[in-house]
Amino acid sequence: AADMADPGECSIKVVCRFRPLNSAEVARGDKYIPKFIGDDCVQIAGKPYHFDRVFQSNTTQVQFYNAVALKIVKDVLEGYNGTIFAYGQTSSGKTHTMEGKLHDPEMMGIIPRIVQDIFNYIYSMDENSEFHIKVSYFEIYLDKIRDLLDVTKTNLSVHEDKNRVPFVKGCTERFVCSPDEVMDAIDEGKNNRHVAVTNMNEHSSRSHSIFLINIKQENTQTEQKLTGKLYLVDLAGSEKVGKTGAEGTVLDEAKMINKSLSSLGNVISALAEGSKSYVPYRDSKMTRILQDSLGGNCRTTMVICCSPSAFNDAETRSTLLFGQRAKTIKNTVSLNVELTAEQWKKKWEKEKEKNKTLRTTITWLETELNRWRKGESVPVEEQFDKEKAKAEVVSLDAALNNNDKAAPKPSLGSLPGVALTGPEKEKYEAEMAKLYKELDDKDDEINQQSQEVEKLKQQLLDQELLESSRSDHNTLQTELNRLLAENEASKEEVKEVLQALEELAVNYDQKSQEVEDKTKEFEALSEELNQKSSSLASIDSELQKLKEMTNHQKKRVTEMMSCLLKDLAEIGIAVGSNDMKKIQQESSGLIDEEFTVARLYISKMKAEVKTMVKRSKQLESSQAERSQKLEETESDLTACKLRVSQYEAKIKSLTDSLQNVEHKKRQLEENVDLLNDEIVRIRAEENAEKVNAMEKENEIQSANEVKEAVEKQIQSHREAHQKQISSLRDELDSKEKLITELQDSNQEIVLEQERLKVEHEKLKAADQEKSRQLQELTLLQDRREQARQDLKGLEETVARELQTLHSLRRLFVQDLSRRVRKNGQDMDDSETCAAQKQKISFLESNLEQLTKVHKQQLVRDNASLRCEIPKMEKRLRATATRVQALEAALKEAKESAAREKKRYEEEMERIKDTVKPKNMGRRASAVIDPVKPIRPGQLPGASP
Ligand code: ADP
Ligand code: MG
């Protein structure tokens, strides 16, 4: 323990500094709220706040430095610890106060000035002093200590040294030899800070920056060592970070930001209360580091920075209150001096002497006091005297020094105030050392762990990045796979398409081949066609030629014929010549031949016509038979149908009647029940009457008679009732019967009508058929008539021809005979005459023969036609009669249909008439319903 010298209590020095209104506030027209009273009081809204010093807005940096920091520099250089805090809301002037413009001589803050002054002081010291100055620069953000002189150290831990003074372990300590080196370090640190963060304004308002100057000086002559630590702290903005937080801060972060400041407030509050029992230094790293500065061995100055604007009114006031609280904190300051061995010895001797003197004084005073208490009066010479006591101590000393060897040294053990024996103390110290060692180890471990944690965090981040990239990769892979699959599918498709194309190509080849074949075929065919057409043309031409030829021949034939006729005429003219006769003979032979051929044809045609007629007759007869049969079967069928429908109708009506009967039966049963009830009631009444009568028997004899009469009346009543019921029932039955009958008849009529309709249809059809046949027959007749006329014409022509032939012959014979006579008169050529006669006779015979044949043929034809005529006439007659019959039948059918219709209508009318009253009757019967309930109070005998 080296800090034992000159202990002294002193409170924290708190000064207040107001900055001027900034341009924005001026522009806004903010009110300047502080009122300065003297140089240690500021009044806001009438409330005064007292501090060690209050600096108005116009205070220059030099003024402030001289008034506040200069003294501290001196203290630190004399071996004391010092701290300067700057507290206040953001933009209240903390950084301006601490740093200012670092390289501007006028605007620089206290840090550069301190640095400068330290060195100035050192330079002014005597040559026996040796100085070792090292600086550290770190910031605390979210309760993490970040080394600003080594960016790799992001989370440093706080340890305690053997004197239980906390310090940032592992923090870079830069040894500096000149103010420039210090300034370089500061610049470097500030630069690092800027590099590390994105938003410097926000970051600086949320973090504490701490600049530490450690000065060690050694007097080379006396070997006295003095150490002084100076903390220069630019605190985070005192304004609370709201729960909503500033941009980019989550709630946890906001808590952390508030934590160090609130724990500073708590520490200050605890210290201000005065009870040093528990101060929550350990709540945050900052309070741990500044533990010595707050309520410890340190001369501490707190600068309360304030905004003068009315706009920051609330924050300013809370800042001022904080400063006032801090003002009450008392620190115990001692010099940090390391004594040389000689100094220690002297000090020890001195202390021992002091101790001895005090002890003799005590014993003296005690004895004197005792004597006084005992009532003795102590003479003046025996009373306590400082000089005498000193002298006594010296003499005692000599005596003690002699017996010193055995006695233990009491003073050493009593130093901490607790009596500890030597070994105990040793043990205790060993324990302490061990514990500190352990603590150090733990701290080391913690540091390692935190570094590990940092690393792991980094790794985690990397991992996350990797993970995300992996997931990206996966998604990409799946996408790729999908695309590949698609690609594959499309490839497949393409393949298929290609295959199809190939097939198509093959098909196309085949088709084209086929087409070629076909075209070849077609060509061949067309060629053939051409050939054919050419041959056709040739054939046509040939045909034309032939036609022409035939025409020509015909012409020629006609010419020949005309020639022949001419020749014949010539022959006629040249009657006398033999040659001519011969020619005539030849020609007549030719005509004969032609006639025979024509006759043969005609006969053949006749035969054919006959056979045709016969066949047609046969067919007609068979058709008639068939139609007759068909008619018969149809009539059978309709009869059957009729019967079936009749039966059906009957069944229907029967079921209806059955239902009706059932219904009636039920009604009647109900009636019977009702009547039974009535009877029972009536009997009961009768009984009652009887009882009455019995009671009154003696009194009224004649009552019996009355009763009997009543009974009889009732009996008659009942009988009448019964009769009425039975008559009603009979009536009902008869009505029902009537209804069923009517229904049946109705059914029958309907059916009959249907049947008649069908018959009518059939007759109509038959009529049509017959008329058609008639037409056909008339047509046939006409044709026959035509044929007959034709035949007659033919006969006439033949006859005319024959006549002409006869006349010709006669003419020819006359001519011939005349010629012969002429010849006989002229030449008397008997020979030629005989030949001519022979020829004529031949011709005559020939002619006769021809005529005979012709006649015979004609007669035959005539005969056959004649026998045909009556047959035809007969058939015509038959058809006519048939048509007449059919017409009559049709007429009859129509009439009968009309009649039936009329009958049906009449029937219908009748039915309607009969049904109407029946319904009305029914309704009427409903009015006098026998099922009508009988209510009590309605006397049955009341209505006779
Ligand atoms: P803090 O560090 O508290 O957030 P700053 O020190 O950055 O505030 O001050 C904010 C602004 O006000 C700076 O531009 C600074 O120059 C100016 N300023 C602060 N105090 C004073 C003063 N006493 N005189 C002139 N300007 C000042
Ligand atoms: Mg600042």
pLDDT in tens, 130-149: 899 999 999 998 888 999 99
* Number of the ligand closest to the Cα of 18: 1
The CA-based angle 193-194-200, given to 5 degrees, is 105
Ligand 1: nearest atom to the Cα of 97: 6
Query: What would the two tokens of residue 99 be?
Result: 């740093």
19 lines ligand 1 (CB under 6 A): yes
Among 65, 96, 203, say which to mutate for ligand 1: greatest number of ligand atoms within 8 Å of CB: 96
- Tell which wins on pLDDT, 298 or 133: 133
Ligand 1: nearest atom to the Cα of 22: 12
**pLDDT of 2 above 90:** no
- Work out the average pLDDT over 808-832: 72
CATH of domain 9-338: 3.40.850.10
Q: What is the pLDDT of residue 402?
A: 53
- Tell which wins on pLDDT, 271 or 51: 51
Is 576 known as a binding-site position? no
DSSP letter string over 883-938? HHHHHHHHHHHHHHHHHHHHHHHHHHHHHHHHHHHHHHHHHHHHHT-TT----TT-
Q: What is the pLDDT of residue 577?
A: 55
305 lines ligand 1 (CB under 6 A): yes
Q: What is the pLDDT of residue 414?
A: 36
How would residue 900 be classed by pLDDT, with cut points 50, 70 and 90? confident
- Work out the average pLDDT over 373-388: 78
**pLDDT of 89 above 80:** yes
Is 93 known as a binding-site position? yes
91 lines ligand 1 (CB under 6 A): yes
- Work out the average pLDDT over 456-475: 89
Q: Cα dihedral angle (404, 408, 410, 412), rounded to 10 degrees?
A: 110
**pLDDT of 921 above 70:** no
93 lines ligand 1 (CB under 6 A): yes
How would residue 401 be classed by pLDDT, with cut points 50, 70 and 90? low
Is 284 known as a binding-site position? no
- For residue 6, which phi and psi values (nearest 5 degrees)? 45, 60
Query: What would the two tokens of residue 697 be?
Result: 């028997």
The rounded Å distance from CA 237 to ligand 2 centre is: 8
- Rounded Cα distance between 36 and 277, Å, is 37
- Work out the average pLDDT over 289-297: 84
pLDDT above 70 as % of the chain: 85
Least confident of 344-358, 603-617, 903-917: 903-917
**pLDDT of 410 above 70:** no
**pLDDT of 940 above 50:** no
* pLDDT tens per residue across span 723-762: 888 888 888 988 989 998 999 989 999 998 999 999 899 9
Q: What is the pLDDT of residue 206?
A: 86
Q: Is 156 helix (H, G, I), strand (E, B) or coil?
A: strand
**pLDDT of 446 above 50:** yes
The rounded Å distance from CA 308 to ligand 2 centre is: 17
The rounded Å distance from CA 97 to ligand 1 centre is: 7
- Work out the average pLDDT over 205-226: 88
Q: What is the pLDDT of residue 922?
A: 45
Closest C-alpha residue for ligand 1 atom 10 = 91
* pLDDT tens per residue across span 546-559: 888 888 888 878 88
Which of 96, 220, 122 has its CA nearest to residue 176?
122
Max avg pLDDT among 91-105, 549-563, 816-830, 836-850:
91-105
- Work out the average pLDDT over 630-648: 88
In angstroms and rounded to an integer, the radius of gyration of the C-alpha atoms of the chain is: 83
Enclosing H/E stretch for 160: strand 157-160
Pairing of strands 299-306, 13-18: parallel
Judge whether 161 and 437 are in contact, CB under 8 Å: no
Domain range list for the chain: 9-338, 342-386, 440-503
* Number of the ligand closest to the Cα of 238: 1
**pLDDT of 585 above 90:** no
- For residue 659, which phi and psi values (nearest 5 degrees)? -60, -45
- Work out the average pLDDT over 822-846: 71
**pLDDT of 215 above 80:** yes
175's CB contacts (< 8 A; 6+ apart) are 132, 133, 134
Q: What is the pLDDT of residue 563?
A: 75
- Tell which wins on pLDDT, 51 or 445: 51
How would residue 824 be classed by pLDDT, with cut points 50, 70 and 90? low
* Number of the ligand closest to the Cα of 97: 1
The rounded Å distance from CA 93 to ligand 1 centre is: 4
Least confident of 413-417, 798-802, 864-868: 413-417
- Work out the average pLDDT over 519-543: 87
Q: What is the pLDDT of residue 250?
A: 57
**pLDDT of 246 above 90:** no
Q: What is the pLDDT of residue 697?
A: 64
The rounded Å distance from CA 282 to ligand 2 centre is: 25
* pLDDT tens per residue across span 708-717: 777 888 888 8
Q: What is the pLDDT of residue 146?
A: 92
Which residue type is seen at 449? Answer: Q
**pLDDT of 939 above 50:** no
Is 38 known as a binding-site position? no
Ligand 1: nearest atom to the Cα of 86: 3
Q: What is the pLDDT of residue 248?
A: 53
- Please provide the size of the chain in residues: 944
* Number of the ligand closest to the Cα of 204: 2
pLDDT, mean over the chain: 82
- Work out the average pLDDT over 561-590: 65
Q: What is the pLDDT of residue 603?
A: 84
Phi-psi map region of 29: left, alpha, beta (phi>0 left; psi -120 to 50 alpha): left
How would residue 699 be classed by pLDDT, with cut points 50, 70 and 90? low
Least confident of 31-40, 289-298, 404-413, 557-566: 404-413
17's CB contacts (< 8 A; 6+ apart) are 54, 55, 59, 64, 93, 97, 303, 304, 305, 306
Is 11 known as a binding-site position? no
Is 88 known as a binding-site position? yes
Q: What is the pLDDT of residue 145?
A: 92
The rounded Å distance from CA 117 to ligand 1 centre is: 23
100 lines ligand 1 (CB under 6 A): no
Q: Cα dihedral angle (103, 106, 109, 115), rounded to 10 degrees?
A: 60
* pLDDT tens per residue across span 757-797: 998 999 999 989 998 999 999 898 888 888 888 888 888 88
- Rounded Cα distance between 576 and 818, Å, is 10
- Rounded Cα distance between 146 and 153, Å, is 6
- Tell which wins on pLDDT, 9 or 228: 228
How would residue 277 be classed by pLDDT, with cut points 50, 70 and 90? low
* Number of the ligand closest to the Cα of 306: 1
Give pTM, 2 decimals.
0.45
Ligand 1: nearest atom to the Cα of 61: 23
How would residue 406 be classed by pLDDT, with cut points 50, 70 and 90? very low
What residues have a C-beta under 5 A from ligand 2, the ion? Answer: 94-95, 204
Closest C-alpha residue for ligand 1 atom 4 = 91
Closest C-alpha residue for ligand 1 atom 11 = 91
- Tell which wins on pLDDT, 697 or 800: 800
| Residue 902 CB-density burial (10 A; 0-12 exposed, 13-18 middle, 19+ buried) | exposed
**pLDDT of 185 above 90:** yes
**Partners of residue 232 on adjacent β-strands:** 84, 211
Q: Where are the alpha helices (DSSP H) in 200-245?
A: 200-206
